[in-house]
Structure 1
């Protein structure tokens, strides 16, 4: 069944133009501080990691620098493990889970792997607790060369020189109630399409790469996270967010062809986490801890199975 719930911006059935994007921008206000919550958390990590700016963006006179943190004892003979968070700025545990991993466990892998962490890919959206960037573009459909999203293009440039040295890439996300109350209706309005309501799963799940699935890897991550928080069940159709559940708490997308972050590199092991922070059964700490558990399990599995 197709639904036509109107969104307050735009004309039903017509894609947005510049006027509608301007109207949408006018509704976006700062709700938290990238400097106070993210950059301040990066500052003490400079004692243990090499910290670099890999690009920046300026929106309406506001400049945001993009930061990456690397293992200080980087060795070219070791595999690279990539952790990204905050591709969607509103997905809080992705950002703070990545930072918590660095504080508590990042240096556990010195001498075994090179760790590269980008905790907040989309700082403008982080401040506004939104999915899109300033231009109403979803960075997580645009990780490719020549991307229209500055956030995506900068990360692609950062990771390109690493090539096939990247053994594992985990991208930390959340699925929230606002996906259905705000972001999917906004997407439908922006693209001039009808909105069909979906179901928000209660719990943690993973998105594997349909083009090169690694079921044992995904299973190891699910088992580690299940010790921290609950795993999302499939719905009555055997699906999670409209995709068939291929294993407990796991679905698949074609990561690279869809322009998703976890598909940037040719990493053998890649996954996207999805935490549900709105669950009555989860706390913010639990959500962050789940992200950390997923990162650790991903790196540990990749180190134990470097050849697949």
Structure 2
């Protein structure tokens, strides 16, 4: 089914292995990663909602980030796990379009939320007296809604623009889920304008957010280094380091996939990079934040103790 002249009615996703035993192993591995990632993100959502001490802008955005991460891994991993288990790589054009829209939407919202979180840390550390005014609950909700609305526009534009293309030569997508760079490689239409729009929009959003985050942390570090008490410096850095790690992991992997010009060659590096930003990053985010955050660990311990007491 890889080469034909009729119009494509469905796509074939790339499998991780043709060996049945390895397919089952990959399916179980994906299921374990999905379960752990989903539980970790939902735990952060629960503890930041239940514990009133965590009803601050920092944890409001962290809660939203965890919701987005839980949705992102739910879009990609279950499909890949089921495909490996039943040895069926077929996905319909509608299913492919929905998956592309959701992945682009959730990835966009995640990156813009990470940018907003950098602003939150900047205001909290560099302008603490104005923090309750600048980062009021109303402003936090407005910024989140802006991320969601612009994400819908961004994902809708690129998904609709991509499926205006014709696919009449190959239906094999060299990825474990549908994404635009892989579709552009198998299209029989002229894709220059699509490639250009993808690169330009990605550069504008990616570079713009990266510059904003970098400028925020330059100001943060210059301010923190002026703190007279070392303990205050340590506390300030402890709230920033997890965010920097998460941003770096997500930005590097997603940029490699979406900002390089699509070509007709297929590389295992593309799949590995996609795994990092669509699976590993949402899976690690709750671990990174919880391991370095005493308040979340304490709140999680209280919630778990309450549930154990109720069971008894």
* Rg (Cα) greater in structure: 2
Normalising by structure 1, report the TM-score: 0.31
The structure with the greater share of residues assigned to helix is 2
Q: TM-score, normalised on structure 2? A: 0.31
**Larger RCO of the pair (alpha carbons < 8 Å, separation 6+):** 2
